[in-house]
Homo-oligomer: A and B are copies of this chain.
Amino acid sequence: MSPDLIGYGAAFFTTAAFVPQALKSWSTRDLSGVSLSMYSMFTLGVALWLLYGIALQSWPIILANCITLALASLVLGLKISHLRAK
């Protein structure tokens, strides 16, 4: 199997696994189960993976982390506005 095919499979599964959290946070606006420090670290990490993917010119890494960065930023933004609204 080609490395790219493995990479796209990996990208599909880890990104898809993250979608329900983003959808749930968006629809319920219940962010009580989401940790600010954990999501801040995760979002920073995903942004760094995106830079790493660009440096390596690896499309599976770039695509997976673009989508996950958008979703993680959404959840983080909802969490911050949830904390401010308290």
Which positions in A face B, CB cutoff 8 Å?
3, 6-7, 9-18, 20-21, 33, 35, 38-39, 41-42, 44-46, 48-49, 51-52, 55-56, 58, 60
**CB–CB B12/A45 < 8 A:** yes
Q: For A14, give its contact among B7, B12, B49 (CB under 8 Å).
A: B49
5 contacts between A and B (CB under 8 A): A7-B52, A10-B48, A14-B49, A17-B39, A52-B60
**CB–CB B55/A13 < 8 A:** no
User: How many copies of this chain sit in the oligomeric assembly?
Assistant: 2
Contacts of A49 in B (CB 8 A): 7, 10, 14
Chain A residues touching B, majority SS: helix
